[in-house]
Homo-oligomer: A and B are copies of this chain.
Amino acid sequence: MADTEILMAAIRGESRLIDAAMYTDLDALAETADGLLTEILRYSLFNGGKRIRPLLVVLATRLCGRSDPAVYDLARAFEYLHAATLMHDDVIDNAETRRGRPSVFKKFGLVAAILAGDFLHARSMAIVGESAGTEALSVFSEATGRIVDGEFLQIRNAADHNLREEDYQRAILGKTGLLIAAACEVGAIWAGRGIEERLALRSYGIHLGCAFQIIDDILDYQGDTGKTGKAVGNDLVEGKMTLPLILTMQQADQEDRLRLQEILADEVLRRHAFAEVSCLIEKYNGFSLSRRKAEEAATAALTQLEVFPGKAGGQEKKILQGLVKYVLDREK
Protein backbone atom coordinates (compact mmCIF):
# COMPACT_ATOMS: atom_id res chain seq x y z
CA MET A 1 0.00 0.00 0.00
CA ALA A 2 1.12 3.53 -0.61
CA ASP A 3 1.84 5.61 2.50
CA THR A 4 -1.32 7.65 2.09
CA GLU A 5 -3.45 4.54 1.87
CA ILE A 6 -1.80 3.08 4.98
CA LEU A 7 -2.48 6.35 6.76
CA MET A 8 -6.10 6.52 5.69
CA ALA A 9 -6.72 2.90 6.61
CA ALA A 10 -5.16 3.52 10.03
CA ILE A 11 -7.25 6.66 10.59
CA ARG A 12 -10.44 4.80 9.71
CA GLY A 13 -9.66 1.68 11.71
CA GLU A 14 -8.34 3.37 14.81
CA SER A 15 -11.00 6.02 14.90
CA ARG A 16 -13.65 3.29 15.11
CA LEU A 17 -11.91 1.85 18.17
CA ILE A 18 -11.52 5.29 19.71
CA ASP A 19 -15.21 5.99 19.10
CA ALA A 20 -16.10 2.67 20.71
CA ALA A 21 -14.13 3.63 23.84
CA MET A 22 -15.97 6.96 23.98
CA TYR A 23 -19.37 5.32 23.51
CA THR A 24 -18.63 2.92 26.38
CA ASP A 25 -17.77 5.83 28.63
CA LEU A 26 -20.84 7.85 27.67
CA ASP A 27 -23.16 4.88 28.11
CA ALA A 28 -21.86 4.37 31.65
CA LEU A 29 -22.22 8.09 32.29
CA ALA A 30 -25.78 8.17 30.99
CA GLU A 31 -26.87 5.89 33.82
CA THR A 32 -26.26 8.58 36.42
CA ALA A 33 -25.76 11.91 34.68
CA ASP A 34 -28.28 14.47 33.52
CA GLY A 35 -29.91 13.59 30.21
CA LEU A 36 -29.18 16.95 28.60
CA LEU A 37 -25.51 16.69 29.52
CA THR A 38 -25.12 13.29 27.88
CA GLU A 39 -27.03 14.49 24.83
CA ILE A 40 -24.63 17.41 24.42
CA LEU A 41 -21.60 15.19 24.91
CA ARG A 42 -22.81 12.80 22.20
CA TYR A 43 -23.58 15.68 19.86
CA SER A 44 -20.21 17.32 20.32
CA LEU A 45 -18.05 14.20 20.30
CA PHE A 46 -19.54 12.32 17.37
CA ASN A 47 -19.31 14.80 14.58
CA GLY A 48 -17.16 13.13 11.96
CA GLY A 49 -13.85 14.28 13.45
CA LYS A 50 -10.73 12.38 12.42
CA ARG A 51 -9.58 11.67 15.99
CA ILE A 52 -6.05 12.79 15.15
CA ARG A 53 -5.12 13.48 18.79
CA PRO A 54 -6.16 10.10 20.21
CA LEU A 55 -4.70 8.44 17.10
CA LEU A 56 -1.35 9.99 17.98
CA VAL A 57 -1.55 8.55 21.50
CA VAL A 58 -2.20 5.10 20.07
CA LEU A 59 0.60 5.35 17.50
CA ALA A 60 3.08 6.73 20.04
CA THR A 61 2.51 3.88 22.50
CA ARG A 62 2.99 1.27 19.77
CA LEU A 63 6.03 3.01 18.33
CA CYS A 64 7.40 2.82 21.88
CA GLY A 65 6.79 -0.91 21.95
CA ARG A 66 3.64 -1.22 24.06
CA SER A 67 0.68 -2.72 22.28
CA ASP A 68 -2.28 -2.89 24.63
CA PRO A 69 -5.95 -2.26 23.81
CA ALA A 70 -6.31 -0.34 27.10
CA VAL A 71 -4.67 2.54 25.21
CA TYR A 72 -8.07 3.52 23.80
CA ASP A 73 -9.34 4.35 27.27
CA LEU A 74 -6.43 6.74 27.67
CA ALA A 75 -6.56 8.08 24.13
CA ARG A 76 -10.19 9.25 24.35
CA ALA A 77 -9.13 11.82 26.96
CA PHE A 78 -7.39 13.76 24.19
CA GLU A 79 -10.54 13.90 22.11
CA TYR A 80 -12.47 15.00 25.20
CA LEU A 81 -10.10 17.86 25.92
CA HIS A 82 -10.12 18.87 22.26
CA ALA A 83 -13.93 18.90 22.24
CA ALA A 84 -14.00 20.87 25.52
CA THR A 85 -11.70 23.46 24.00
CA LEU A 86 -13.86 23.74 20.89
CA MET A 87 -17.04 24.20 22.93
CA HIS A 88 -15.54 27.12 24.81
CA ASP A 89 -13.93 28.50 21.66
CA ASP A 90 -17.30 28.58 19.94
CA VAL A 91 -18.69 30.67 22.80
CA ILE A 92 -15.69 32.97 22.66
CA ASP A 93 -15.85 33.36 18.87
CA ASN A 94 -19.64 33.43 18.81
CA ALA A 95 -19.41 30.68 16.20
CA GLU A 96 -22.59 29.62 14.41
CA THR A 97 -21.34 26.31 13.11
CA ARG A 98 -18.78 23.64 13.75
CA ARG A 99 -18.07 21.00 11.13
CA GLY A 100 -21.10 22.01 9.13
CA ARG A 101 -23.59 21.70 11.99
CA PRO A 102 -24.78 24.25 14.54
CA SER A 103 -22.16 24.69 17.26
CA VAL A 104 -23.03 23.40 20.75
CA PHE A 105 -23.23 27.04 21.76
CA LYS A 106 -25.86 27.87 19.12
CA LYS A 107 -27.79 24.63 19.47
CA PHE A 108 -27.86 24.23 23.26
CA GLY A 109 -27.01 27.72 24.48
CA LEU A 110 -24.27 29.48 26.40
CA VAL A 111 -24.81 27.77 29.75
CA ALA A 112 -24.77 24.30 28.26
CA ALA A 113 -21.65 25.01 26.20
CA ILE A 114 -19.70 26.30 29.18
CA LEU A 115 -20.80 23.52 31.53
CA ALA A 116 -20.43 20.63 29.12
CA GLY A 117 -16.95 21.95 28.25
CA ASP A 118 -16.08 22.02 31.95
CA PHE A 119 -17.36 18.49 32.34
CA LEU A 120 -15.27 17.09 29.48
CA HIS A 121 -12.28 19.03 30.74
CA ALA A 122 -12.52 17.42 34.18
CA ARG A 123 -13.22 14.00 32.74
CA SER A 124 -10.23 14.18 30.42
CA MET A 125 -7.86 15.04 33.26
CA ALA A 126 -9.24 12.30 35.47
CA ILE A 127 -8.72 9.75 32.70
CA VAL A 128 -5.13 10.77 32.07
CA GLY A 129 -4.34 10.68 35.79
CA GLU A 130 -5.99 7.30 36.29
CA SER A 131 -4.67 5.60 33.14
CA ALA A 132 -1.21 7.06 32.83
CA GLY A 133 -0.24 8.40 36.26
CA THR A 134 0.68 11.75 37.69
CA GLU A 135 3.66 12.42 35.44
CA ALA A 136 1.44 12.13 32.37
CA LEU A 137 -1.15 14.28 34.10
CA SER A 138 1.48 16.98 34.61
CA VAL A 139 2.29 16.97 30.91
CA PHE A 140 -1.39 17.05 30.03
CA SER A 141 -2.39 19.83 32.41
CA GLU A 142 0.70 21.86 31.59
CA ALA A 143 -0.48 21.74 27.98
CA THR A 144 -4.00 22.76 29.02
CA GLY A 145 -2.69 25.71 30.98
CA ARG A 146 -0.52 26.85 28.12
CA ILE A 147 -3.37 26.47 25.64
CA VAL A 148 -5.31 29.01 27.69
CA ASP A 149 -2.25 31.21 27.97
CA GLY A 150 -1.95 31.02 24.18
CA GLU A 151 -5.54 32.17 23.78
CA PHE A 152 -4.87 35.22 25.94
CA LEU A 153 -1.87 35.91 23.74
CA GLN A 154 -4.03 35.57 20.66
CA ILE A 155 -6.51 38.10 22.00
CA ARG A 156 -3.69 40.55 22.49
CA ASN A 157 -2.12 39.66 19.13
CA ALA A 158 -5.38 40.46 17.35
CA ALA A 159 -4.91 44.11 18.21
CA ASP A 160 -1.29 44.15 17.07
CA HIS A 161 -0.93 44.62 13.33
CA ASN A 162 2.84 44.53 13.48
CA LEU A 163 2.91 41.15 15.15
CA ARG A 164 6.28 39.45 15.33
CA GLU A 165 6.64 36.00 13.89
CA GLU A 166 7.72 34.56 17.25
CA ASP A 167 4.47 35.72 18.87
CA TYR A 168 2.56 34.02 16.09
CA GLN A 169 4.59 30.85 16.65
CA ARG A 170 3.86 30.95 20.37
CA ALA A 171 0.16 31.48 19.74
CA ILE A 172 -0.18 28.58 17.27
CA LEU A 173 1.79 26.40 19.67
CA GLY A 174 -0.97 26.96 22.21
CA LYS A 175 -3.72 26.60 19.65
CA THR A 176 -2.65 23.30 18.10
CA GLY A 177 0.87 22.18 18.88
CA LEU A 178 0.81 21.64 22.62
CA LEU A 179 -2.11 19.24 22.80
CA ILE A 180 -0.73 17.23 19.88
CA ALA A 181 2.68 17.22 21.57
CA ALA A 182 1.10 16.11 24.84
CA ALA A 183 -0.72 13.27 23.06
CA CYS A 184 2.59 11.99 21.70
CA GLU A 185 4.49 12.46 24.96
CA VAL A 186 1.81 10.89 27.15
CA GLY A 187 1.85 7.91 24.78
CA ALA A 188 5.59 7.50 25.41
CA ILE A 189 5.08 7.82 29.18
CA TRP A 190 2.30 5.23 29.14
CA ALA A 191 4.62 2.90 27.24
CA GLY A 192 7.23 3.37 29.95
CA ARG A 193 9.86 4.92 27.71
CA GLY A 194 12.70 7.20 28.82
CA ILE A 195 13.26 10.89 28.36
CA GLU A 196 14.88 10.66 24.92
CA GLU A 197 11.86 9.00 23.29
CA ARG A 198 9.49 11.22 25.24
CA LEU A 199 11.14 14.39 24.05
CA ALA A 200 11.48 13.15 20.48
CA LEU A 201 7.77 12.38 20.31
CA ARG A 202 6.90 15.65 22.01
CA SER A 203 9.00 17.53 19.48
CA TYR A 204 7.43 15.59 16.62
CA GLY A 205 4.03 16.70 17.89
CA ILE A 206 5.01 20.34 18.22
CA HIS A 207 6.36 20.50 14.68
CA LEU A 208 3.46 18.55 13.24
CA GLY A 209 1.02 20.92 14.95
CA CYS A 210 2.95 23.91 13.72
CA ALA A 211 2.90 22.69 10.11
CA PHE A 212 -0.79 21.92 10.44
CA GLN A 213 -1.62 25.39 11.69
CA ILE A 214 0.39 27.21 9.04
CA ILE A 215 -1.33 25.24 6.29
CA ASP A 216 -4.64 26.02 7.98
CA ASP A 217 -3.82 29.70 7.88
CA ILE A 218 -2.89 29.50 4.19
CA LEU A 219 -6.11 27.63 3.40
CA ASP A 220 -8.07 30.39 5.09
CA TYR A 221 -6.96 32.56 2.14
CA GLN A 222 -6.47 30.06 -0.64
CA GLY A 223 -8.68 27.11 0.25
CA ASP A 224 -11.27 25.72 -2.11
CA THR A 225 -14.55 26.24 -0.27
CA GLY A 226 -15.98 23.19 -2.00
CA LYS A 227 -13.29 21.07 -0.35
CA THR A 228 -12.74 22.76 3.00
CA GLY A 229 -16.43 23.40 3.68
CA LYS A 230 -15.39 26.76 5.08
CA ALA A 231 -15.62 30.21 3.54
CA VAL A 232 -12.26 31.80 2.85
CA GLY A 233 -11.29 35.06 4.46
CA ASN A 234 -12.51 34.41 8.01
CA ASP A 235 -9.16 35.27 9.55
CA LEU A 236 -9.06 38.56 7.70
CA VAL A 237 -12.60 39.48 8.72
CA GLU A 238 -11.65 38.82 12.35
CA GLY A 239 -8.46 40.82 11.92
CA LYS A 240 -6.28 37.81 12.80
CA MET A 241 -2.61 38.23 12.08
CA THR A 242 -1.65 34.87 10.61
CA LEU A 243 1.67 33.92 9.06
CA PRO A 244 1.00 34.89 5.41
CA LEU A 245 0.02 38.36 6.56
CA ILE A 246 2.85 38.70 9.09
CA LEU A 247 5.47 37.80 6.50
CA THR A 248 3.88 40.21 4.03
CA MET A 249 3.93 43.05 6.54
CA GLN A 250 7.64 42.36 7.10
CA GLN A 251 8.44 42.59 3.38
CA ALA A 252 6.02 45.23 2.17
CA ASP A 253 7.10 48.72 1.14
CA GLN A 254 5.73 51.62 3.14
CA GLU A 255 2.77 52.32 0.89
CA ASP A 256 1.52 48.73 0.89
CA ARG A 257 2.16 48.36 4.61
CA LEU A 258 0.15 51.47 5.41
CA ARG A 259 -2.68 50.24 3.20
CA LEU A 260 -2.71 46.87 4.95
CA GLN A 261 -2.76 48.58 8.34
CA GLU A 262 -5.64 50.73 7.21
CA ILE A 263 -7.62 47.67 6.15
CA LEU A 264 -6.81 45.73 9.32
CA ALA A 265 -7.91 48.60 11.53
CA ASP A 266 -11.34 48.89 9.92
CA GLU A 267 -13.98 46.21 10.33
CA VAL A 268 -15.88 47.20 7.19
CA LEU A 269 -12.75 47.23 5.04
CA ARG A 270 -11.74 43.82 6.39
CA ARG A 271 -15.02 42.43 5.11
CA HIS A 272 -14.56 43.82 1.62
CA ALA A 273 -10.84 43.87 0.89
CA PHE A 274 -10.21 40.12 0.74
CA ALA A 275 -9.12 40.13 -2.93
CA GLU A 276 -6.89 43.14 -2.41
CA VAL A 277 -5.20 41.64 0.67
CA SER A 278 -4.74 38.27 -1.07
CA CYS A 279 -3.13 40.10 -3.96
CA LEU A 280 -0.73 41.95 -1.67
CA ILE A 281 0.24 38.71 0.09
CA GLU A 282 0.96 37.15 -3.33
CA LYS A 283 2.99 40.21 -4.32
CA TYR A 284 5.34 39.69 -1.37
CA ASN A 285 5.34 35.87 -1.62
CA GLY A 286 3.57 35.61 1.74
CA PHE A 287 1.93 32.32 0.80
CA SER A 288 5.00 30.61 -0.60
CA LEU A 289 7.16 31.83 2.29
CA SER A 290 4.56 30.50 4.74
CA ARG A 291 4.48 27.21 2.91
CA ARG A 292 8.24 26.97 3.19
CA LYS A 293 7.97 27.46 6.95
CA ALA A 294 5.40 24.66 7.10
CA GLU A 295 7.77 22.43 5.13
CA GLU A 296 10.61 23.23 7.51
CA ALA A 297 8.42 22.27 10.45
CA ALA A 298 7.44 19.06 8.65
CA THR A 299 11.07 18.16 8.09
CA ALA A 300 11.85 18.82 11.73
CA ALA A 301 8.96 16.52 12.72
CA LEU A 302 10.25 13.73 10.50
CA THR A 303 13.77 14.07 11.90
CA GLN A 304 12.50 13.34 15.41
CA LEU A 305 11.28 9.94 14.31
CA GLU A 306 14.86 8.86 13.65
CA VAL A 307 15.17 8.18 17.37
CA PHE A 308 13.08 5.08 16.65
CA PRO A 309 15.24 3.05 14.28
CA GLY A 310 14.24 -0.56 14.95
CA LYS A 311 11.89 -2.84 13.16
CA ALA A 312 9.46 -2.72 16.06
CA GLY A 313 6.90 -0.05 15.41
CA GLY A 314 7.88 0.10 11.74
CA GLN A 315 4.26 0.35 10.68
CA GLU A 316 3.54 3.08 13.23
CA LYS A 317 6.58 5.03 12.09
CA LYS A 318 5.30 4.89 8.53
CA ILE A 319 1.93 6.20 9.61
CA LEU A 320 3.47 9.01 11.62
CA GLN A 321 5.55 9.94 8.57
CA GLY A 322 2.48 9.75 6.40
CA LEU A 323 0.65 12.07 8.73
CA VAL A 324 3.28 14.75 8.25
CA LYS A 325 2.98 14.47 4.50
CA TYR A 326 -0.80 14.49 4.73
CA VAL A 327 -0.76 17.69 6.78
CA LEU A 328 1.39 19.42 4.18
CA ASP A 329 -0.62 18.23 1.19
CA ARG A 330 -4.09 18.61 2.55
CA GLU A 331 -6.55 20.77 0.69
CA LYS A 332 -9.16 20.77 3.44
Contacts and interface: CB of A to CB of B under 8 A. Distances in A.
Oligomeric state, in number of copies?
A: 2
A118 interface: yes
Given A110-B91, A130-B138, A141-B122, A115 B156 contact: no
Interface residues of A, number: 39
A229 B78 CA distance: 43
B137 A129 contact: yes
A159 to B, nearest CB: 12
Contacts of A118: 88, 117-118, 121, 144, 148
A152 B144 CA distance: 24
Given A114-B88, A149-B37, A129 B122 contact: no
A231 interface: no
B125 A141 contact: yes
Nearest to A93: B111
Contacts of A32: 149
Which of A122, A145, A149 has its CB near the most chain B CB atoms (within 10 A)? Answer: A122
Interface string A115-153: 111110111011001100110011001101100110111
A33 B153 CA distance: 9
Contacts of A268: none
Given A115-B151, A122-B148, A144-B122, A133 B134 contact: yes
A119 B37 contact: no
Interface string A144-171: 1100110111011000000000000000
B121 A122 contact: yes
29 contacts: A32-B149, A33-B145, A33-B149, A33-B152, A34-B152, A34-B153, A36-B152, A36-B155, A36-B156, A37-B149, A37-B152, A88-B118, A91-B110, A92-B114, A112-B152, A114-B114, A115-B152, A118-B148, A119-B144, A119-B145, A122-B148, A123-B141, A125-B141, A126-B137, A126-B142, A129-B137, A130-B138, A133-B134, A137-B137
Nearest to A155: B111
Contacts of A152: 33-34, 36-37, 112, 115
A142 B119 CA distance: 10
